[in-house]
Structure 1
């Protein structure tokens, strides 16, 4: 019979044990990862979550030569590729959403690599090169086979890019892992995309305080704040991954119709949802819509905050009284 040794939290009485906070920082997914647990948590449980992140990154990344998604891309125009269930499950979801043509496109890979926005060598491509890539980003051409878990890209040069959805999927899986440990209060921060688990253990009302990023300022500067129960918070914005050329700024949210960054009045859209995967999808779709959508909220989609380039705030699923304005230069408008 083996013995498992745990830190002895019972050797002395710990006041407000539920508020005890354990945080650790990691590097993965091309960003800084901050994982936090409250209460009787252990560093090993944070490390297990990081191992899970590394597991999914190894499957899904397109920023390395070897991954299951890269195997699919490298076989484009040649043959289908069988993949593991997690990879197939996410690709199937991404394909279904992409075929709705609302903005999110899992086949956007050739355009992303052409522009390289957010990576070394970002440039304004030639129009002819953009038009050539547009022929390769039709998500409806992706062939998936649920029977043998295979994915086929029928045209040479087609490429999947799950960067706009993978972090949300991974955050949801970390929450599943921690719940399996019977841990219910924590913060999953994957480079600014947040998943808040359980009640907030510090404030008496047990609600989380979430800031809306100022698109004209450094990360961490908020223009407004909202109190929320457990939820995911994901933002699509034009202010972080971008480059300047001949006096014009180009952001990373690429339009599958034009081949250029999507142009509208928005600086950002922040979605509050039950699942982080849904948040990733809906921030992109709402950014492309350009304004709040009628009957958009449901049991899993709680609300959205739109911030415009001219410092207006539009709301979906929230009342103006739900937001506390922190920067008076921004004002809430009841409708676009």
Structure 2
């Protein structure tokens, strides 16, 4: 589901119906937000590009509006209008390829977020140019994770751990470890899946990691990953192997990992230091790990 393995651990006197409803909701949300299912609600909007405004589910509208706001940050890599470029490369799928310069140029001409026209009064979205596609892949898992945690709280679940693959949400504490915080492993990009370079304690927090080590394409001696420079249309050139954001809301982790990934280490550290309730773990391609909390203490001492 959602292109990954999802796990959920929760504590409740009657866990089975709650677990069943979480599974149902995950299927609903996948159908609602997917850019890879031609019949999803999001893709129905994309099929109307250049034609007419499309009335969308309020949750999808809310995420598109949030995504458009942050997509207008000129120096970030977050752009929800990047769908045509993502599908041109299709990294992470069996038909992934290196596009021609002309194909990249054509795709880029369809990725201006200013051409996403929102109508709050009717919950409609109009994509001005035919061929435009919104892709919420950089935000949806975090948004969905927050919705699931909210549902658990309405059911009076106080302790749970939700892993959406790259997004881990910790509610309350780990009662099997005497109420200690949940322990979230940060993948070592240079090692096999499940081998960690550090462990983060988390309680009522989200841990989101974005990296270049899983979804990628190698052609000859050239390595391409799935995080694109919105201006050039090619994968960002970076010395960063992974960026982890720890925050209260998972969608915030999605926003800032996407905006900041590919930036120089010092830029990431300076930016995160200005954000309340958020910290970052950066692992560079040479295996060094950096914690923004250490940077923040050093810069204010």
Structure 2 length as normaliser, TM-score?
A: 0.93
Q: Which residue of 1 aligns with 2:89?
A: 115
Q: Which of 50, 62, 77 in structure 2 is aligned with 1:103?
A: 77
CA RMSD of aligned residues (A): 2.0
Q: Which of 298, 309, 316 in structure 1 is aligned with 2:292?
A: 316
Q: How does 1:195-206 map to 2 (within 5 A)?
A: 195-204=169-178, 206=180
Q: How does 1:297-336 map to 2 (within 5 A)?
A: 297=273, 301-318=277-294
Q: Which residue of 1 aligns with 2:32?
A: 59
Can you give the 5+ residue segments of structure 2 that lack an aligned partner in the other structure?
A: none
How far is 1:246 from its partner? 1.4
How far is 1:297 from its partner? 4.5
User: Contact 2:206–2:246 (CA<8 Å) still a contact in 1?
Assistant: yes
Distance 1:76 1:57 in 2: 21
Count matched residues.
296
Q: Which residue of 2 aligns with 1:158?
A: 132
Structure 1 length as normaliser, TM-score?
A: 0.84
Q: Which residue of 2 aligns with 1:278?
A: 252
Q: How does 1:226-237 map to 2 (within 5 A)?
A: 226-237=200-211
Q: How does 1:207-286 map to 2 (within 5 A)?
A: 207-286=181-260
Distance 1:290 1:204 in 2: 40
Q: Report which of the two has the higher share of helix.
A: 2
User: Contact 2:269–2:295 (CA<8 Å) still a contact in 1?
Assistant: no
Can you give the 5+ residue segments of structure 1 that lack an aligned partner in the other structure?
A: 1-27, 322-332
Q: How does 1:117-196 map to 2 (within 5 A)?
A: 117-196=91-170
Is the aligned partner of 1:29 residue 2:7?
A: no
How far is 1:205 from its partner? 6.2
Secondary structure at the aligned position of 1:289 is classed as coil
Deviations along 1:104-143, one digit per CA (max 9) or x if unpaired, are 1101100100001001110111011101111111112210
